[in-house]
Amino acid sequence: MNINQSLHAISIKEPFYHNGSDAALHRYLDAEFINRFQQDMQQQQFTLPQFSSWMQEDQYSTHDNKPVLRLPLHRAFHLVCCEVVCDQLGKPALDPQRITSAGFVIRRINGQQEYAWQLEDGEALGWQPAPSELRDPDIHRRLCANGVLQKRALQPTYSGEEVFPLHTLNARDEKGKRHTLLFGYVPLGGFYYHRDTGKAFDESSQKAVLDADAQSLSWPFGYRKPFKKVWNDDIARTVSAGKPGQAFFELLRMLVNRYHLGDETIESNSALAKKMDQLWFYDENAFSAQLKKTGYRESSRKLFSAYRKSSLWSYLRGCFSQTSENPLVRWIIEQEAAIDKVDGIENLSSFGRLPASSGNKYINWTLFISEADAEDIRELLGQRLRDQALAKVQEIPLPKFTQDSDDVYQIIPFVRSLNDQDKEQIQWAENANRSILFRVAAPFDPEASRPSLIQMPSLSDLKRGMAQGASFITPSDTFNLINNLKLKKGASEDVIPDSEPGPSLGVQWICSFSIPVITLVAMILLMIMISLLNIIFFWLPWVKICLPFPKINKGS
C-alpha cells in the first residue's frame, strides 16, 4: 500500500529462495552472522539450518507452536530478509540505485489489534496502538530539504515508531536471475519507563495488592482476621506504660523498616509524619482519678492535653537522629528474636518497653488513639503504598519484549525508492509478505540457553603467583572487621571490634584476591547451597548434570 501516489509500481515479496510468501527469518549462532549470510547468498547455500530447520528446534513456547526468537544473550542472532521487485510482468528486480532507504518495524499483535513501539524525541514510550493505515514511520521526514515543515493532511502521515534498517544485497538464483534482497538484523532488546503513571497498574491488580497489604496488619491498623469492629478502650490503648500491643508493634515495624518514618529527608513520608505528629504519648501515672475513668475519644481528647510527653513523630524523629545506632531498630530486632523463640507473634505474652530516643533508658508512657485516628492511618498507609509503587514503576526499566500468552510479534518491511519523476515514495509489505508471527525468549529461558564453558582451576593453580586479580578498596572499619574473622568464631558478634576506626583516620586498604581461589570458593559455595536446597525442592537432577568429558583438541 502506497502512502504517496506511486508512479513506479513496486512490491515487497518473499526472497526467491524461501518457501512461503512471508519475509524470511534466519537464525545464526555466531557473531559473524552478517558475513555468514552474505557468504551463504553468494554460494547459494539455501538449504543450511539457518535458512529453515531452526524454526522446528525453537518451537518450544508453552502457549503455542510459534517459533521463539532467542536473544543475543543466548549467543543467537536473527536476520530478516525480503525481496523488492518492480510490480510488472515477470517481477524484475528493482534497481538498487532507485532505493533511497529501507527498513522494518516490529509490531506486537494482540488479536486484531496491532501495537507499535513508539518513540518521542528518541525516548521509548512503549507499545501504543498502531494506526490503521500504514504511515511513514520516520517523524523527522516531515521536514523538507530546506528545513520547512511539509504540509500535513487532515490525518497525520507519520507514525513515529521505531525503525530498524534494511540493507540491499544483489543475489542470483540457480538459474542466474538477479534479485534485489533487503536484509537486516533483528534487535530483540530494549526497554522503556512508564510516563503515564495513571495507567501503570491494572485496577484489579492494584486493589489486590492493597488488600493483601492490609491483611499484613492487625486491627485497627489493618484488616487481618480476627478483628473487632466495635471500638473499645483496649483498642484505643495501643501502648501501655511503654509496652506496645501486637497491632502497634506490627505498625511500628512497617513504618520503620519499610518507610523509614522518622527520617526527615524522606519527603514522601510527609502525610504520615503529619498524622504521627497528632498522636501523643501520655504520662498516665499523673492522670487524675476522674481522667483514668474517662475513655479516650475524639470528644475527650482535650482533657488529656495537659499530660502529653512527646508526639509519636517526635519520638520517631529522635530515634532516627541518632548518629551511632537507631535504638528503635535494635529494639524491633530484639522483639522479632523473641517472636521466633515462641514460634509466632500470637504466642508472645508481651513486648518489651519501647526504648528512649536517646540513651539506654526505656519510656514509660502510654499512647492512645481514637477510632478516627485508626481510620486515618489505614487510609494513609494505603496511599503511601500506592505512591511508593508509582514512584518505583517510574524507575524500573520495563522490557520491550515479554512472554505472556498474548505477546506475539511480527516484522513489517518497507522500502523508500525514487519513482519515474525522481520523487521519493514509500512502499510497505502487504499482509501476506510480512514475517510469520513469532515470540521472543526470556533472558533466562532454559530452552533458549546454550552451553557456556567455564574453565575451573586445578588445585595446583591455587598457590601459583601472587594474589592478584580481583581487588577491593576497603575502608579501615570494614578492613578491621574482616581482619578479625577467625576460623572457629566465624562471623559471630565477638569479631566486631569495640572501637571501629572511622573514615576520619584517612586510611584504607586494597585487598587483592587470587582469581583461581575466588572461582573455586564460588563453586564450593554453589554446590553447598544446591545440596541444601535439594533437601527441600528435590531439584538436583534439573540443576546439575555432570558428564565425563574428554579434553578438546586445540586444532592444528
Q: What is the pLDDT of residues 100-128, one digit of tens each?
A: 999 999 999 988 889 999 888 778 888 88
- Lookup: cell for 438: 513469532
pLDDT: which is higher, 131 or 5 = 131
Q: How many helices (H) and strands (E) does the chain have?
A: 13, 22
Contacts for 107 with CB less than 8 Å, ≥ 6 apart: 114, 115, 116, 130, 409, 410, 411, 412
What does the pLDDT read at residue 355?
A: 94
Whether 157 shows a pLDDT value over 70: the answer reads no
Q: How many CB atoms lie within 10 A of CB 418?
A: 16
Task: Check if the beta carbon of residue 474 is closer than 8 Å to that of residue 482.
Answer: yes
Mean pLDDT of 346-371: 90
C-alpha separations of 150 from 140, 142, 332 in Å: 10, 5, 67
At residue 454, the 3 state secondary structure works out as coil
Task: Evaluate if residue 531 carries a pLDDT over 80.
Answer: yes
Residue 244 predicted with pLDDT over 80: yes
Name residue 81's beta-bridge partners: 24, 183
d(C-alpha 542, C-alpha 528), whole Å:
16
Contacting residues for 89 by C-beta, under 8 A, at least 6 apart: none
Task: Compare 68 and 468 and report the one with higher pLDDT.
Answer: 68
Nearest CA to 326 among 353, 355, 363, 367?
Answer: 355
pLDDT for res 289: 87
CA distances from 390 to 19, 263, 511 (A): 49, 21, 41
What confidence score (pLDDT) does residue 537 get? 72
CB 94 within 8 A of CB 178: no
- How is residue 463 written as a grid cell? 598457590
The enclosing H or E element of 125 equals strand 123-129
Type of residue found at 36: R
pTM above 0.75, yes or no: no
